[in-house]
Amino acid sequence: MAFIPGGTFRMGSNRHYPEEAPEHPVTVDDFYIDISPVTNAQFEAFIDATGYVTAAERPLALAEYPGVPAQLLQAGSLVFMPPSRVVTLHDWGQWWRLVFAANWRHPQGPKSSLKGLEQHPVVHIAYRDALAYASWAGKDLPTEAEWEFAARGGLDGAEYAWGDELMPQGAPMANLWQGEFPIENTRLDGFLRTSPVGSFPPNGFGLLDMIGNVWEWTADYYGAYQPAGNANCIERNPRNERRVESCDPDQPDIRIPRRVLKGGSHLCAPNYCRRYRPAARHAQPEDSSTSHIGFRCVLRLGP
């Protein structure tokens, strides 16, 4: 883990997606954070020690998902499958497939394995899976504010975790999508899917893969920012605990709380999902897992 000295920074952004605004000052206390996302090897050690079964390895309960056809309640997870033709970017179902028996051990489906992926970030992780690992390790999941402060690496207000240029001198600084998403990835960074942790330079705090590779869970429920009413008041260690408000209003029959994901992934591209920035955030149902979601942990020094 790396020690992160607390401080005050500008959280969010007024320059990109509306959910990132308004930019506002926030203070966080000292904490430690994992240098990299949790890897397959680390997660396997947790499984071997506890016998834990992840959400993607368990069938869904019909009572929790009313109206879902019984054949879709099998254990599985969402896997990115690039389409063979140009598709509309407004329908994510064109490139995501529910694959039965896809899970952290079989990231691309039942015929795949972790061979050669030991140092890649673990994926197909639902929120409760990440929380279970953190508890076993004697740690916790970062708040959104802690995660963003750490990702900035001391560069308050910078566009990216390494500065204001996406590829300084043409060098990829993170595992992102190059080319026209979702049909063509030129692999300028050398990777089609996940990459071994540490394949790209660390940020100013010595942290790896804070941007790209895999999205990372935070402890906060998703919702609009609610900065302090007094413009001169700076929030300290904010945390969104508004569970009910985090549920997707477009799915009134399925009341699954959503948590904040941070950091973007290897599927983020300039023509789609420009969320490869510390300020970017994404809402994810806490029961969901995909082939591009992982996590890292923190250790707080105070209560």
CATH of domain 1-303: 3.90.1580.10
Query: Which ranges in the chain belong to alpha helices (H)?
Result: 40-50, 127-136, 144-152
Residue 298 CA to residue 274 CA, distance in Å, equals 26
Q: Look at residue 65 in the predicted model and tell me its pLDDT.
A: 79
Least confident of 40-54, 66-80, 96-110: 66-80
Is 25:237 a contact under the CB 8 Å cutoff?
A: no
Residue 114 pLDDT > 70: yes
Q: Look at residue 303 in the predicted model and tell me its pLDDT.
A: 60
**Torsion angles phi and psi, residue 198, rounded to 5:** 90, 10
Residue with tokens 């948590």: 259
| Token couple for 86 | 């140009």
| Token couple for 54 | 């992840």
**Verdict on whether the full-model pTM lies above 0.85:** yes
Length reported for the chain = 303
Please state the domain extents for the chain. Answer: 1-303
| Token couple for 124 | 């197909």
Each residue's pLDDT tens digit, 122-142: 999 999 999 999 999 999 999
Q: Look at residue 189 in the predicted model and tell me its pLDDT.
A: 96
